[in-house]
Amino acid sequence: MALIKPHGGGNLKPLYVMDDKQRADLAEEALHLHSINVCSAAAGNAVMLGAGYFTPLAGYMNKADALGVAKEMKTADGLFWPTPVLNMVDHEVNLQPGDRIALRDPNVAGDPVLAIQTVEAVETFTDEEMALMTEKVYRTDDMEHPGVKAFNTVGKTCISGPIQVLNFTYFEKDFGDTFKTAYEIRADMEKLGWSKVVAFQTRNPMHRAHEELCRMAYNDLGCDGILIHMLLGKLKKGDIPADVRDACIRKMVELYFEPNTVLVTGYGFDMLYAGPREAVLHAVFRQNTGCTHLIVGRDHAGVGDYYGGFDAQTIFTEEVPADALDIEIYNADHTAFSRKLGKVIMMKDAPEGHTQEDWVFLSGTKVREMLGKGEAPPPEFSRPEVAQILMDYYQGLED
C-alpha cells in the first residue's frame, strides 16, 4: 500500500534546491543580492518549507493569507492552514515586487545565506491586525506567553513570496543522525514497507508514560510503525536541550521497542507554544511525512495554563473542517503507572476504585530535583537507562 498523500492532495513540494550546480549558482547569485538577516522564526519557516513539511506552500505568506489563516485557518485561495508562515522584519525595506533577496541565517555564525526569496509584496500589519492574529493563534495576548512574545517582537512588516532554500541551517550539522526532511522520512517509510504510521510529537525526553502511549496507539490502530518526531529548534528557558533529548529517546527505543518498528527523527523549527493551533500544524506536517495518525495528548504544544487540557483535541472536531486533512487524530488522556495494575494505562481507562495513591505521579520540578541530586526517579516513571542520561546532564549543570 502507498503512503498517505501530502496535504493538498498533490505531490510533496520541498523547496530545497537539490541540484548541486543550481544550488552553487544560486549561492553565487546571492553574493550580489540585497540581503536581510531574518528572525529565528522565519529561518525555521524556511527550513520547514525547504524540507517539504509545509507542502503545498511555495513560500512566505502575504498579509491577506496570514490574516485569513489566523481568522479562519484558510489562505486567500482557500487552502486549509492553521498558523501564519511569515518573514517578518522590524525595519523599513526598499523592495519592489520581482526583486530577489538573500535571506541570511541568524542562528549560524557569520549569518550565511539560508535561502533566496523572490519578493511578491512588502506589507505592514497594523497594531489591530497584529493583535487579531495573536489572539486567534495563541488565544491570549499575554506577553509572558513565550510564543506571543516571540511573535510580537520581530516587527510588523512582512515580505511575502516564493523561496529557494540552499541549506537546512545548523540542524543538519548538529543533528546529522536525527534531522530528517519530510521526503527523507517518506523514503525511509517506503523502504520499511510502512503505510499505516502513527506520529508522536515531543519536545521533551520520553518517560514510561510516553513510551507506553506510543505502544498503545501502535497496537490500537494496527500500525506498521511509529514516527517519534522531536522538535530540534528553539525552546523556552529550562527545557532539555535537543541533544540530551535525542540521546534519551534513542536509548529507550533501542532497549524497549522491537527493531524496525520506530523511526527516531527530528525537525528544524522553533516551538510556538500555540496549543490547539500548533497541534493542527503538527497534524499538517505529519501528514506530509506520510503519517496516517498523530497522537494528541493533554495540553499538546501548550505552556503554562493558557489552554485547557483537551483543547488541542477538541479543535479537530469543533474548528477543523472534516475534509481539511487526511491524517487522523489518536486522542490520548493523561497516562501514568498504576501500582494497582502494575502497568502504565490511560487514566480514563482506570477501573473503579483507583485512588490518588494508586498512581505514580511526579511533577517536572520534583523530577529535576531528583536528577540534579543524582537520584533516579522510580522505574515506574522513567527507564533507568534514560534516567542515567538525564542525571549526567543535570549534574553537569552544577559543575
3 state SS of 121:
strand
Query: Where would I find the beta strands (DSSP E) of 129-275?
Result: 157-165, 197-202, 225-231, 262-267
Average pLDDT, the chain: 95
Q: Do residues 216 and 140 both lie within one domain? A: no
Which structural domain, as residue segments, surrounds residue 311? 178-397
Cell of 321: 473542517
Q: Do residues 167 and 183 both lie within one domain? A: no
Report the pLDDT value the prediction gives residue 399, as an integer from 0 to 100. Answer: 60
Report the pLDDT value the prediction gives residue 210, as an integer from 0 to 100. Answer: 93
9 located within any domain: no
Length of the chain: 399
10 located within any domain: no
Q: Which residue is listed with cell 495576548?
A: 141
| CATH number reported for the structural domain that contains residue 87 in this entry | 3.10.400.10
1 located within any domain: no
Tell me the per-residue pLDDT of 94-117, one tens digit each, with 9 for 90 and over. Answer: 999 999 999 999 999 999 999 999
H/E element, 284: helix 276-289
Backbone angles phi, psi at 252, to 5 degrees: -60, -45
Q: Which of 51-65, 359-373, 375-389 has the highest mean pLDDT?
A: 51-65
Backbone angles phi, psi at 339, to 5 degrees: -65, -35
pTM greater than 0.75 (yes/no): yes
The H-assigned helical ranges of the chain are 20-30, 40-50, 63-72, 127-138, 146-151, 169-174, 182-192, 208-221, 242-256, 276-289, 311-318, 364-372, 384-397
Q: Which residues are catalytic?
A: 203-204
Q: Let me know: does 229 contact 288? Beta carbons within 8 Å.
A: no
Tell me the per-residue pLDDT of 323-360, one tens digit each, with 9 for 90 and over. Answer: 999 999 999 988 888 999 999 999 889 999 899 899 98
Q: Do residues 158 and 186 both lie within one domain? A: no
Q: Do residues 159 and 184 both lie within one domain? A: no
Comparing 138 with 372, which gets the higher pLDDT? 138
205 located within any domain: yes
H/E element, 397: helix 384-397
| Residue 56, pLDDT above cutoff 80 | yes
| Residue 241, pLDDT above cutoff 90 | no
